[in-house]
């Protein structure tokens, strides 16, 4: 019986396959075989016996592991027994050394490290793709002027290129953060019951290093029975932060798609339905999906932090929580990241509507340009602010044209001619360094992508 929406509704096939039960079992078996290979290097058994064991271990099934677990109530020992019974058939000598010197979390945490490594590769690839689409949009719409809004109210003019560049830079920073996180996160261990590697004696460091080399991992610098959970906390925090950025972008697209704004629009399929009762609807469903699931991702932050607070060398309070936190946060972040790539790639920008909304405010949003010009002419900046504010308030209270309200003020009109005011109220002339900043972001993103 399928219960969880991740099983049938959310998540990509490639990411879910990494975190599937079958994948977890195979990765744990790979750790056990890597341990046998490392032991063989130290002369515990022959490499030919390890080869037999490796082939035999391929026959271990999830069903058999579960069958044993139901009897003995220990998941890792169930796996060890399942491996041993298959290996015993072809090499009693190799079976003798299965799981030698290891504790459960040597196998679990090291297998998890391979899952995290493969997950990060997918996330980094998709972050790069999103950054590429955003910078393409920034370049395409760098001259598409629109109304800037602060507090939801008319502000200075900006461009859609600037908005896309702002998001592109933010996504590029996540690529850098992921690269910085990787060497701290992707570590395994073969440290034994309390981290001392006592069962291996003086061979412990060499055996652990060899196991990790085989698996393509680095050994943790130090660990108790488990890898310290600050590693996982940093990863979940990264996903939480990323989900917040994706929700921010999605929220702004939703705001700009509102009927009274209509400056952008999610793509809409030819046969897509927006409402079961209102046939005209084109709802921003992908962005709404991103926003909803981003909040779920951030909900895993605190449980993971609590999972780092363990008794002495360890207790088991982290285990049950991490079966959920690591899996669901990764799968859902990948899901919303995939959605966001689709949204940005196919996003429709209505340039005419953007200009219409800009013109609709009657140029009162260019009040700063007038204030700055008056200050440059010699007026005290605070005095200039008050004069322009008074003129702007007449636009609201008396429905006056802003240019007319400005000229009515004798001090303003004595310092600025009608032609000067008209020029100052041209939004194209008050975009500052927008194009330069877009170019700077484009260069930055390219450096990050070509790292």
Tell me: pLDDT of 41 over 80: yes
Residue 230 in this model has a pLDDT that exceeds 90: yes
What fold, for 364-424?
A: Ribonucleotide Reductase Protein R1; domain 1 (1.10.40)
pLDDT digits (tens, 9 = 90+) for 417-437: 999 999 999 999 999 999 999
Give the residue with greater pLDDT, 273 vs 36.
Answer: 36
What average pLDDT does this structure show over 286-311? 95
User: Per-residue pLDDT tens for 4-20?
Assistant: 999 989 999 999 999 99
- CATH 1.10.275.10 domain position(s) in the chain: 11-96
Residue 325: pLDDT above 70? yes
Q: Find all residues with CB under 8 Å of 315, minimum gap 6, and list them.
A: none
Buried b (16+ CB within 10 A) or exposed e, 168-186: bbbbbbbbebbeebbeebb
Confidence label for 43 from pLDDT (cuts 50, 70 and 90): very high
Residues 6+ apart with CB under 8 A from 291: 247, 250, 251, 254
Question: Which active-site residues does the annotation give?
Answer: 151, 275
Q: Which CATH number fits domain 104-140+156-269+277-357: 3.30.1330.10, 1.20.200.10, 3.30.2320.50, 3.90.120.10?
A: 1.20.200.10
Q: What percent of the chain has a predicted confidence (pLDDT) above 70?
A: 100
- The model's confidence at residue 279, banded by pLDDT at 50, 70 and 90, is confident
pLDDT at 275: 67
Reported as a single tens digit per residue, the pLDDT across 232-278 is 999 999 999 999 999 999 999 999 999 999 999 998 777 877 767 88
- Residue intervals of the chain classified under CATH 1.10.40.30 are 364-424
Given a contact cutoff of 8 angstroms between Cβ atoms, the answer to whether 150 and 194 are in contact is no
pLDDT for residue 365: 96
Give domain 11-96's CATH number out of 1.10.275.10, 1.10.10.10, 3.40.50.150, 2.30.30.20: 1.10.275.10
pLDDT digits (tens, 9 = 90+) for 307-318: 999 999 998 888
Over residues 204-227, the mean pLDDT reads 96
Residue 88: pLDDT over 80: yes
- What is the pLDDT of the chain when averaged over all its residues? 95
Beta carbons within 8 Å of 450's beta carbon, 6+ residues apart: none
pTM, rounded to two decimals: 0.94
């Amino acid at each position: 019986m399928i219960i969880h929406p991740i099983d049938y509704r959310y998540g990509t096939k490639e990411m879910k396959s990494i975190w599937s039960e079958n994948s977890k079992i195979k990765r744990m078996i790979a750790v056990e075989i890597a341990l046998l290979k490392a032991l063989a290097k130290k002369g515990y058994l022959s490499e030919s016996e390890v080869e037999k064991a490796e082939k035999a271990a391929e026959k271990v099934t999830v069903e058999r592991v579960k069958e044993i677990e139901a009897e003995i109530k220990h998941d890792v020992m169930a796996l060890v027994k399942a491996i041993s019974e298959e290996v015993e058939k072809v090499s009693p000598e190799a079976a003798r050394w299965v799981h030698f010197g290891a504790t459960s979390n040597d196998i679990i945490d090291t297998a998890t490290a391979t899952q995290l490594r493969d997950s990060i590769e997918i996330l980094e690839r998709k972050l790069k793709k999103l950054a590429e689409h955003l910078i393409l949009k920034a370049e395409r719409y760098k001259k598409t002027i629109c109304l800037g809004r602060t507090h939801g109210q008319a502000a200075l003019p900006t461009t859609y290129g600037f908005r896309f560049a702002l998001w592109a830079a933010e996504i590029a920073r996540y690529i850098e953060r992921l690269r910085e996180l990787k060497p701290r996160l992707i570590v395994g261990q073969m440290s034994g019951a309390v981290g001392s590697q006592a069962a291996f004696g003086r061979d412990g460091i060499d055996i652990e290093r060899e196991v990790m080399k085989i698996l393509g991992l680095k050994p943790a610098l130090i660990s108790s029975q488990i890898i310290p959970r600050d590693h996982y906390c940093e990863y979940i925090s990264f996903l939480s932060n990323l989900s917040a950025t994706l929700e921010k972008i999605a929220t702004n697209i939703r705001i700009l798609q509102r009927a009274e704004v209509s400056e952008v629009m999610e793509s809409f399929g030819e046969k897509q339905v927006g409402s079961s009762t209102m046939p005209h609807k084109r709802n921003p469903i992908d962005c709404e999906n991103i926003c909803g699931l981003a909040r779920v991702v951030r909900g895993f932050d605190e449980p993971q932090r609590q999972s780092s607070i363990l008794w002495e060398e360890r207790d088991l309070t982290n285990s049950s929580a991490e079966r959920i936190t690591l899996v669901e946060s990764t799968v859902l972040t990948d899901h919303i990241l995939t959605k966001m790539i689709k949204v940005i790639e196919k996003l429709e920008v209505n340039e005419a509507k953007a200009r219409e909304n800009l013109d609709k405010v009657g140029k009162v949003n260019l009040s700063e340009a007038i204030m700055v010009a008056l200050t440059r002419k010699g007026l005290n900046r605070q005095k200039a602010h008050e004069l322009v504010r008074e003129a702007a308030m007449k636009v609201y209270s008396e429905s006056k044209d802003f240019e007319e309200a400005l000229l009515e003020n004798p001090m303003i009109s004595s310092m600025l001619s009608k032609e000067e005011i008209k020029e100052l109220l041209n939004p194209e002339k008050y975009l500052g360094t927008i194009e330069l900043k877009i170019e700077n972001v484009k260069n930055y993103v390219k450096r990050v992508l070509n790292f």
